[in-house]
Protein backbone atom coordinates (compact mmCIF):
# COMPACT_ATOMS: atom_id res chain seq x y z
CA UNK A 1 0.00 0.00 0.00
CA UNK A 2 2.84 2.33 0.88
CA UNK A 3 4.55 1.57 -2.44
CA UNK A 4 1.31 2.20 -4.31
CA UNK A 5 0.88 5.59 -2.68
CA UNK A 6 4.54 6.51 -2.93
CA UNK A 7 4.52 5.84 -6.68
CA UNK A 8 1.72 8.41 -7.00
CA UNK A 9 2.83 11.23 -4.71
CA UNK A 10 6.56 10.84 -5.26
CA UNK A 11 7.79 11.75 -1.78
CA UNK A 12 8.18 9.98 1.49
CA UNK A 13 6.56 12.59 3.72
CA UNK A 14 3.19 12.58 1.93
CA UNK A 15 3.34 8.82 1.33
CA UNK A 16 3.72 8.23 5.07
CA UNK A 17 0.85 10.56 5.95
CA UNK A 18 -1.48 8.95 3.45
CA UNK A 19 -0.49 5.41 4.39
CA UNK A 20 -1.25 6.21 7.99
CA UNK A 21 -4.62 7.67 7.03
CA UNK A 22 -5.48 4.54 5.08
CA UNK A 23 -4.37 2.25 7.88
CA UNK A 24 -6.31 4.14 10.53
CA UNK A 25 -9.42 4.22 8.43
CA UNK A 26 -9.40 0.77 6.92
CA UNK A 27 -7.85 -1.57 9.44
CA UNK A 28 -10.43 -1.23 12.24
CA UNK A 29 -13.13 -2.01 9.70
CA UNK A 30 -11.64 -5.22 8.42
CA UNK A 31 -13.52 -8.25 9.56
CA UNK A 32 -11.77 -11.30 10.92
CA UNK A 33 -12.01 -14.02 8.30
CA UNK A 34 -12.41 -11.67 5.33
CA UNK A 35 -10.74 -13.06 2.21
CA UNK A 36 -7.41 -11.68 1.05
CA UNK A 37 -9.08 -10.36 -2.08
CA UNK A 38 -11.72 -8.52 -0.09
CA UNK A 39 -9.12 -6.96 2.19
CA UNK A 40 -7.04 -5.97 -0.78
CA UNK A 41 -9.85 -4.23 -2.59
CA UNK A 42 -10.97 -2.51 0.59
CA UNK A 43 -7.47 -1.18 1.25
CA UNK A 44 -7.16 0.08 -2.31
CA UNK A 45 -10.50 1.80 -2.16
CA UNK A 46 -9.33 3.60 0.96
CA UNK A 47 -6.02 4.48 -0.70
CA UNK A 48 -7.72 5.85 -3.81
CA UNK A 49 -10.00 8.02 -1.77
CA UNK A 50 -7.06 9.31 0.30
CA UNK A 51 -5.21 10.16 -2.93
CA UNK A 52 -8.28 11.88 -4.35
CA UNK A 53 -8.50 14.06 -1.24
CA UNK A 54 -4.80 14.75 -1.46
CA UNK A 55 -4.98 16.13 -5.01
CA UNK A 56 -8.21 18.06 -4.58
CA UNK A 57 -6.79 19.73 -1.46
CA UNK A 58 -3.51 20.64 -3.17
CA UNK A 59 -5.11 22.22 -6.21
CA UNK A 60 -8.24 23.55 -4.56
CA UNK A 61 -10.36 21.83 -7.14
CA UNK A 62 -13.57 19.90 -6.55
CA UNK A 63 -13.21 16.20 -7.05
CA UNK A 64 -15.35 16.13 -10.17
CA UNK A 65 -12.80 18.29 -11.94
CA UNK A 66 -10.20 15.70 -11.20
CA UNK A 67 -12.42 12.85 -12.17
CA UNK A 68 -10.05 11.79 -14.88
CA UNK A 69 -8.98 8.17 -14.30
CA UNK A 70 -5.44 9.27 -14.00
CA UNK A 71 -6.01 11.22 -10.80
CA UNK A 72 -8.45 8.87 -9.21
CA UNK A 73 -7.93 5.41 -10.50
CA UNK A 74 -11.15 3.47 -10.75
CA UNK A 75 -9.71 0.02 -10.09
CA UNK A 76 -6.97 -1.50 -7.98
CA UNK A 77 -3.89 -2.23 -10.10
CA UNK A 78 -3.40 -5.69 -11.54
CA UNK A 79 -1.34 -7.89 -9.25
CA UNK A 80 2.09 -7.99 -10.81
CA UNK A 81 1.54 -4.68 -12.60
CA UNK A 82 4.43 -2.32 -12.11
CA UNK A 83 3.93 1.41 -11.76
CA UNK A 84 7.49 2.02 -12.98
CA UNK A 85 6.37 0.61 -16.33
CA UNK A 86 3.83 3.37 -16.72
CA UNK A 87 6.51 5.99 -16.18
CA UNK A 88 8.69 4.26 -18.74
CA UNK A 89 5.85 4.24 -21.25
CA UNK A 90 5.41 7.98 -20.80
CA UNK A 91 9.14 8.62 -21.15
CA UNK A 92 9.27 6.50 -24.30
CA UNK A 93 6.81 8.80 -26.01
CA UNK A 94 8.79 11.97 -25.36
CA UNK A 95 11.37 13.56 -27.65
CA UNK A 96 14.91 12.44 -26.80
CA UNK A 97 16.05 15.69 -25.16
CA UNK A 98 13.02 15.81 -22.85
CA UNK A 99 13.44 12.18 -21.96
CA UNK A 100 17.09 12.71 -21.17
CA UNK A 101 16.55 15.65 -18.82
CA UNK A 102 13.83 13.79 -16.91
CA UNK A 103 15.85 10.61 -16.65
CA UNK A 104 18.87 12.42 -15.30
CA UNK A 105 16.98 14.64 -12.90
CA UNK A 106 14.50 12.13 -11.51
CA UNK A 107 15.58 8.57 -12.14
CA UNK A 108 19.30 9.13 -11.70
CA UNK A 109 19.04 11.81 -9.06
CA UNK A 110 21.30 14.39 -10.71
CA UNK A 111 21.26 17.92 -9.33
CA UNK A 112 20.33 20.78 -11.65
CA UNK A 113 23.98 21.66 -11.93
CA UNK A 114 24.98 18.14 -12.84
CA UNK A 115 22.25 17.96 -15.47
CA UNK A 116 23.39 21.31 -16.86
CA UNK A 117 26.98 20.08 -17.13
CA UNK A 118 25.90 16.83 -18.71
CA UNK A 119 23.74 18.56 -21.29
CA UNK A 120 26.06 21.50 -21.87
CA UNK A 121 23.59 24.17 -20.81
CA UNK A 122 22.90 26.44 -17.83
CA UNK A 123 20.96 25.77 -14.64
CA UNK A 124 18.26 28.18 -15.86
CA UNK A 125 18.19 26.32 -19.15
CA UNK A 126 17.65 23.02 -17.36
CA UNK A 127 14.78 24.46 -15.31
CA UNK A 128 12.99 25.61 -18.45
CA UNK A 129 13.68 22.34 -20.22
CA UNK A 130 12.43 20.44 -17.19
CA UNK A 131 9.21 22.48 -17.21
CA UNK A 132 8.63 21.83 -20.89
CA UNK A 133 9.49 18.15 -20.53
CA UNK A 134 7.07 17.67 -17.61
CA UNK A 135 4.29 19.52 -19.41
CA UNK A 136 4.86 17.27 -22.39
CA UNK A 137 4.89 14.20 -20.12
CA UNK A 138 1.62 15.35 -18.56
CA UNK A 139 0.07 15.77 -22.01
CA UNK A 140 1.22 12.31 -23.08
CA UNK A 141 -0.19 10.73 -19.91
CA UNK A 142 -3.48 12.61 -19.90
CA UNK A 143 -4.15 12.19 -23.62
CA UNK A 144 -3.45 8.47 -23.56
CA UNK B 1 13.55 36.93 -26.06
CA UNK B 2 13.29 35.02 -22.82
CA UNK B 3 9.75 34.33 -21.78
CA UNK B 4 9.23 35.75 -18.29
CA UNK B 5 6.16 33.68 -17.55
CA UNK B 6 7.87 30.52 -18.58
CA UNK B 7 10.90 31.34 -16.43
CA UNK B 8 8.66 31.95 -13.45
CA UNK B 9 6.76 28.72 -14.00
CA UNK B 10 10.05 26.84 -14.42
CA UNK B 11 11.37 28.30 -11.18
CA UNK B 12 8.20 27.43 -9.30
CA UNK B 13 8.04 23.88 -10.64
CA UNK B 14 11.67 23.32 -9.75
CA UNK B 15 11.01 24.27 -6.15
CA UNK B 16 8.25 21.69 -5.98
CA UNK B 17 10.52 19.11 -7.61
CA UNK B 18 13.35 19.83 -5.16
CA UNK B 19 10.95 19.05 -2.29
CA UNK B 20 9.79 15.82 -3.91
CA UNK B 21 13.33 14.64 -4.55
CA UNK B 22 14.32 15.41 -0.97
CA UNK B 23 11.38 13.36 0.36
CA UNK B 24 9.51 16.43 1.59
CA UNK B 25 5.81 17.22 1.27
CA UNK B 26 4.50 18.36 -2.09
CA UNK B 27 3.72 22.02 -1.49
CA UNK B 28 1.48 22.57 -4.47
CA UNK B 29 -1.29 25.13 -3.93
CA UNK B 30 -4.34 26.17 -5.92
CA UNK B 31 -2.15 28.68 -7.78
CA UNK B 32 -0.34 25.69 -9.25
CA UNK B 33 -3.53 24.13 -10.58
CA UNK B 34 -2.76 25.37 -14.10
CA UNK B 35 0.32 23.19 -14.21
CA UNK B 36 -1.24 20.25 -12.41
CA UNK B 37 -0.55 17.82 -15.21
CA UNK B 38 3.16 18.65 -15.15
CA UNK B 39 3.12 18.32 -11.34
CA UNK B 40 1.38 14.98 -11.67
CA UNK B 41 4.13 13.85 -14.06
CA UNK B 42 6.80 15.09 -11.64
CA UNK B 43 5.24 13.12 -8.77
CA UNK B 44 5.07 9.95 -10.86
CA UNK B 45 8.67 10.32 -11.97
CA UNK B 46 9.85 11.03 -8.44
CA UNK B 47 7.82 8.01 -7.29
CA UNK B 48 9.59 5.78 -9.80
CA UNK B 49 13.06 6.59 -8.48
CA UNK B 50 13.28 3.78 -5.99
CA UNK B 51 12.95 0.31 -7.41
CA UNK B 52 11.10 -0.77 -4.32
CA UNK B 53 9.88 1.96 -2.03
CA UNK B 54 9.75 0.75 1.52
CA UNK B 55 8.38 2.16 4.72
CA UNK B 56 11.27 3.31 6.85
CA UNK B 57 11.70 1.36 10.09
CA UNK B 58 10.98 4.57 12.02
CA UNK B 59 7.69 5.12 10.22
CA UNK B 60 6.78 1.46 10.64
CA UNK B 61 7.25 1.74 14.38
CA UNK B 62 5.29 5.00 14.53
CA UNK B 63 2.45 3.47 12.54
CA UNK B 64 2.35 0.38 14.71
CA UNK B 65 2.23 2.64 17.75
CA UNK B 66 -0.60 4.74 16.35
CA UNK B 67 -2.62 1.68 15.44
CA UNK B 68 -2.12 -0.06 18.74
CA UNK B 69 -3.11 2.91 20.83
CA UNK B 70 -6.58 2.61 22.22
CA UNK B 71 -7.33 -0.79 20.78
CA UNK B 72 -8.50 -3.83 22.65
CA UNK B 73 -5.78 -6.41 23.32
CA UNK B 74 -7.23 -9.18 21.10
CA UNK B 75 -6.58 -6.97 18.09
CA UNK B 76 -2.96 -6.28 18.77
CA UNK B 77 -1.24 -9.17 17.07
CA UNK B 78 -3.52 -9.09 14.12
CA UNK B 79 -2.99 -5.40 13.82
CA UNK B 80 0.75 -5.63 13.96
CA UNK B 81 0.60 -8.34 11.34
CA UNK B 82 -1.41 -6.08 9.11
CA UNK B 83 1.10 -3.26 9.41
CA UNK B 84 3.78 -5.63 8.20
CA UNK B 85 1.37 -6.68 5.47
CA UNK B 86 0.96 -3.12 4.23
CA UNK B 87 4.55 -3.27 3.05
CA UNK B 88 4.62 -6.91 2.01
CA UNK B 89 1.40 -6.64 0.02
CA UNK B 90 2.94 -3.84 -1.98
CA UNK B 91 5.74 -6.18 -2.96
CA UNK B 92 3.35 -8.76 -4.32
CA UNK B 93 1.48 -5.97 -5.98
CA UNK B 94 4.25 -4.32 -7.92
CA UNK B 95 5.83 -7.63 -8.78
CA UNK B 96 9.32 -6.31 -8.04
CA UNK B 97 9.23 -6.42 -4.33
CA UNK B 98 10.11 -9.47 -2.42
CA UNK B 99 13.32 -10.61 -3.96
CA UNK B 100 14.57 -7.06 -3.92
CA UNK B 101 13.40 -6.54 -0.38
CA UNK B 102 15.22 -9.66 0.68
CA UNK B 103 18.38 -8.68 -1.08
CA UNK B 104 18.37 -5.29 0.55
CA UNK B 105 17.90 -6.81 3.93
CA UNK B 106 14.54 -5.32 4.71
CA UNK B 107 13.60 -6.79 8.04
CA UNK B 108 10.14 -8.08 8.73
CA UNK B 109 8.29 -6.49 11.62
CA UNK B 110 9.84 -7.28 14.94
CA UNK B 111 13.02 -8.62 13.46
CA UNK B 112 15.13 -5.49 13.56
CA UNK B 113 17.47 -6.68 16.23
CA UNK B 114 20.29 -8.97 15.27
CA UNK B 115 19.48 -12.47 16.42
CA UNK B 116 23.01 -13.17 17.55
CA UNK B 117 26.27 -11.42 18.25
CA UNK B 118 24.58 -8.55 20.00
CA UNK B 119 27.46 -8.00 22.33
CA UNK B 120 29.87 -7.21 19.55
CA UNK B 121 27.72 -5.77 16.78
CA UNK B 122 25.78 -2.63 16.08
CA UNK B 123 27.18 0.78 16.86
CA UNK B 124 23.74 2.36 16.52
CA UNK B 125 20.41 1.31 17.87
CA UNK B 126 19.83 -1.75 15.73
CA UNK B 127 16.15 -0.92 15.60
CA UNK B 128 16.73 2.00 13.22
CA UNK B 129 18.65 -0.08 10.73
CA UNK B 130 17.98 -2.94 8.42
CA UNK B 131 19.97 -6.02 9.36
CA UNK B 132 20.95 -8.80 7.01
CA UNK B 133 19.79 -11.81 8.91
CA UNK B 134 19.79 -15.04 6.89
CA UNK B 135 16.87 -17.14 7.98
CA UNK B 136 17.16 -20.33 9.97
CA UNK B 137 19.15 -23.09 8.38
CA UNK B 138 20.43 -20.80 5.63
CA UNK B 139 22.40 -18.75 8.15
CA UNK B 140 25.94 -19.75 8.91
CA UNK B 141 28.67 -18.02 10.90
CA UNK B 142 31.73 -17.82 8.69
CA UNK B 143 35.29 -17.26 9.80
CA UNK B 144 36.48 -14.24 7.82
CA UNK B 145 40.14 -15.03 8.35
CA UNK B 146 40.50 -11.69 10.12
CA UNK B 147 42.25 -11.60 13.46
CA UNK B 148 40.64 -8.92 15.57
CA UNK B 149 43.87 -7.84 17.25
CA UNK B 150 45.40 -7.13 13.84
CA UNK B 151 42.54 -4.92 12.66
CA UNK B 152 43.19 -1.19 12.54
CA UNK B 153 40.53 1.48 13.07
CA UNK B 154 39.67 3.29 9.86
CA UNK B 155 40.84 0.38 7.74
CA UNK B 156 37.80 -1.76 7.01
CA UNK B 157 38.14 -5.17 5.42
CA UNK B 158 35.95 -6.54 2.67
CA UNK B 159 34.73 -10.03 3.50
CA UNK B 160 32.40 -12.58 1.96
CA UNK B 161 30.33 -15.12 3.86
CA UNK B 162 28.44 -17.22 1.35
CA UNK B 163 26.03 -14.81 -0.33
CA UNK B 164 26.67 -11.96 2.10
CA UNK B 165 29.30 -9.39 1.18
CA UNK B 166 30.32 -7.00 3.93
CA UNK B 167 32.80 -4.44 5.12
CA UNK B 168 34.06 -5.07 8.64
CA UNK B 169 35.16 -2.06 10.69
CA UNK B 170 36.99 -2.03 13.97
CA UNK B 171 35.47 0.47 16.43
CA UNK B 172 37.48 0.51 19.62
CA UNK B 173 37.19 -2.93 21.13
CA UNK B 174 34.24 -3.90 18.95
CA UNK B 175 33.62 -4.77 15.34
CA UNK B 176 30.82 -3.56 13.09
CA UNK B 177 29.93 -5.05 9.72
CA UNK B 178 27.74 -3.64 7.01
CA UNK B 179 26.62 -4.57 3.53
CA UNK B 180 29.16 -4.00 0.77
CA UNK B 181 26.47 -2.99 -1.73
CA UNK B 182 25.03 0.42 -2.44
CA UNK B 183 21.41 0.87 -1.36
CA UNK B 184 20.61 2.74 -4.56
CA UNK B 185 21.56 0.37 -7.37
CA UNK B 186 23.32 -2.76 -6.24
CA UNK B 187 26.83 -1.80 -7.28
CA UNK B 188 29.72 -2.89 -5.14
CA UNK B 189 31.16 -0.27 -2.81
CA UNK B 190 34.85 0.47 -2.53
CA UNK B 191 36.67 1.92 0.48
CA UNK B 192 38.36 5.24 -0.28
CA UNK B 193 41.21 5.47 2.10
CA UNK B 194 41.89 9.18 1.69
CA UNK B 195 38.32 10.36 2.08
CA UNK B 196 37.39 7.67 4.61
CA UNK B 197 34.20 6.78 2.79
CA UNK B 198 32.62 3.80 1.12
CA UNK B 199 32.13 4.93 -2.43
CA UNK B 200 29.68 3.63 -5.00
CA UNK B 201 31.35 4.00 -8.41
CA UNK B 202 28.05 3.73 -10.30
CA UNK B 203 26.74 7.14 -9.25
CA UNK B 204 29.59 8.41 -7.14
CA UNK B 205 27.68 8.18 -3.88
CA UNK B 206 29.46 7.99 -0.53
CA UNK B 207 28.64 6.38 2.80
CA UNK B 208 30.54 7.10 5.98
CA UNK B 209 32.07 4.47 8.23
CA UNK B 210 28.72 4.11 10.03
CA UNK B 211 27.14 3.20 6.69
CA UNK B 212 25.13 6.43 6.50
CA UNK B 213 24.56 8.18 3.18
CA UNK B 214 26.60 11.35 2.65
CA UNK B 215 24.52 12.45 -0.32
CA UNK B 216 23.68 16.14 -0.19
CA UNK B 217 20.27 15.78 -1.72
CA UNK B 218 18.15 12.69 -1.30
CA UNK B 219 19.63 10.52 1.43
CA UNK B 220 20.00 6.92 0.42
CA UNK B 221 18.95 4.33 2.99
CA UNK B 222 21.78 3.40 5.37
CA UNK B 223 23.76 0.30 4.52
CA UNK B 224 22.15 -2.73 6.19
CA UNK B 225 24.14 -4.08 9.09
CA UNK B 226 25.60 -7.56 9.00
CA UNK B 227 25.83 -9.64 12.17
CA UNK B 228 29.39 -10.01 13.32
CA UNK B 229 31.10 -11.49 16.36
CA UNK B 230 34.52 -12.27 17.71
CA UNK B 231 35.29 -15.90 18.53
CA UNK B 232 38.69 -16.85 19.92
CA UNK B 233 40.05 -13.56 18.67
CA UNK B 234 38.84 -14.13 15.12
CA UNK B 235 36.13 -12.19 13.36
CA UNK B 236 33.08 -14.15 12.24
CA UNK B 237 30.26 -12.87 10.06
CA UNK B 238 26.75 -14.31 9.78
CA UNK B 239 26.36 -15.24 6.14
CA UNK B 240 24.90 -18.16 4.28
CA UNK B 241 26.15 -21.68 3.82
> What pLDDT, in 10s, does the model give residues B166-210?
999 999 989 999 999 998 878 899 999 999 999 998 888 899 999
pLDDT, one tens digit per residue, over A24-75 is 888 777 777 778 788 888 888 899 989 989 998 998 888 777 766 677 777 7
Identify which of A11, A82, A108 has the shortest CB distance to residue B24. Answer: A11
Identify which of A58, A79, A108 has the shortest CB distance to residue B28. Answer: A58
* pTM score: 0.55
The pLDDT, as a whole number, for residue B76 is: 39
Nearest C-alpha neighbor of A82 from the set B221, B100, B106: B100
Whether the per-residue pLDDT at B112 is higher than 50: the answer is: no
Percent of chain A topping pLDDT 70: 92
Contact call for residues A103 and A115 (beta carbons, < 8 A): no
DSSP summary character for residue B158: E
Could you tell me whether strands B157-161 and B164-171 are parallel, antiparallel, or unpaired per DSSP bridges?
A: antiparallel
CB contact under 8 A, B47 and A6: yes
Contact call for residues B208 and B197 (beta carbons, < 8 A): yes
Q: What's the CA gap between B49 and B53, in Å, rounded? A: 9
The pLDDT, as a whole number, for residue B238 is: 93
Distance from chain centroid for Cα B241:
24
Nearest C-alpha neighbor of A102 from the set A48, A141, A144: A141
Identify which of B25, B29, B37 has the shortest CB distance to residue A11. Answer: B25
Q: How far is A121 from chain B (nearest CA, A)?
A: 15
Q: Which helix (H) or strand (E) holds A50?
A: helix A36-59
pLDDT, one tens digit per residue, over B46-61 is 998 876 788 888 898 8
CB contact under 8 A, B38 and A2: no
Q: What's the CA gap between B228 and B238, in Å, rounded? A: 6
Which chain B residues touch A114 with a CB distance below 8 Å?
none
Q: What's the CA gap between B57 and B231, in Å, rounded? A: 30
ipTM value for the complex = 0.90
Whether the per-residue pLDDT at B217 is higher than 80: the answer is: no
CB contact under 8 A, B13 and A130: yes
Distances (CA, A) of B43 to A7, A117, A133, B38, B164: 8, 24, 13, 9, 35
Q: What's the CA gap between B168 and B222, in Å, rounded? A: 15
Amino acid sequence: MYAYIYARVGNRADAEDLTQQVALKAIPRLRVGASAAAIRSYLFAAARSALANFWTARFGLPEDQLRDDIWIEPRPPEPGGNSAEKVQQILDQLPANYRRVLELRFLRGYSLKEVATELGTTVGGVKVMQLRALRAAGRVAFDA
Amino acid sequence: MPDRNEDRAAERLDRLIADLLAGRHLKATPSDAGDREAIWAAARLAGAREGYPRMSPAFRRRLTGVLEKGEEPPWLTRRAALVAGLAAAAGALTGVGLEEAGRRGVPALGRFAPSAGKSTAATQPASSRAVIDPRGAAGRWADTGLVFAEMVEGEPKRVTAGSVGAFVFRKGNRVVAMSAYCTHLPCELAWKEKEHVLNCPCHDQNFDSEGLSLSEGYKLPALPLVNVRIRSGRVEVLGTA
